[in-house]
Structure 1
Amino acid sequence: MDVLAIFISITFIFLAGLHFYWAIFGIKNPENVVPTIGVEKKVKTPGKLAAAFVGLVLLGFALVFLNRVILYFDFPWLRYVSIGIGVIFIIRALGDFKYVGFFKTSKNSKFSALDTRYYSPLCLLMGTLILILELIS
Structure 2
Amino acid sequence: METLAVMLAVSFVGLAALHLYWAFGGTFGMSAALPQVDGAPLFTPRLVGTVALAFLFAGFALIALVLGFGAGSASVIVPCAEFFGFAVGGVLVLRAVGEFRYVGFFKRVKGSKFAVYDTWLFSPFCLLAGGAFLALAVGGA
Q: Secondary structure at the match of 1:77?
A: helix
Count of aligned pairs between the two proteins: 134
Shift of 1:28: 4.3
4+ runs deviating over 6 angstroms: none
Shift of 1:67: 1.8
Q: 1:136 to 1:66 in 2, by over 3 A?
A: closer
Q: Is the 8 A contact 2:85 2:136 kept in 1?
A: no
Partners of 1:30 and 1:127 in 2: CA distance: 23
Match of 1:74 among 66, 73, 76: 76
Q: Secondary structure at the match of 2:126?
A: helix
Shift of 1:88: 0.5
Shift of 1:34: 0.1
Q: Secondary structure at the match of 1:80?
A: helix
- Which position in structure 2 is the counterpart of 1:56? 55
Taking structure 1 as the reference length, what is the TM-score of the superposition?
0.88
What are the ranges of 5 or more consecutive residues in structure 2 without an aligned counterpart? Answer: none
Q: Is the 8 A contact 1:30 1:45 kept in 2?
A: no
> Which amino acid is the alignment partner of residue 2 of structure 1?
E
What aligned pairs does 1:1-137 form with structure 2 within 5 A after superposition?
Answer: 1-28=1-28, 30-37=30-37, 40-43=38-41, 44-68=43-67, 69=69, 74-75=76-77, 76-137=79-140
Taking structure 2 as the reference length, what is the TM-score of the superposition?
0.86
> Which amino acid is the alignment partner of residue 125 of structure 2?
L
Partners of 1:54 and 1:67 in 2: CA distance: 20
Partners of 1:19 and 1:90 in 2: CA distance: 21
Partners of 2:29 and 2:122 in 1: CA distance: 16
What are the ranges of 5 or more consecutive residues in structure 1 without an aligned counterpart? Answer: none
After TM superposition, the structure 1 stretch with the greater mean CA deviation from structure 2, 20-29 or 121-130, is 20-29
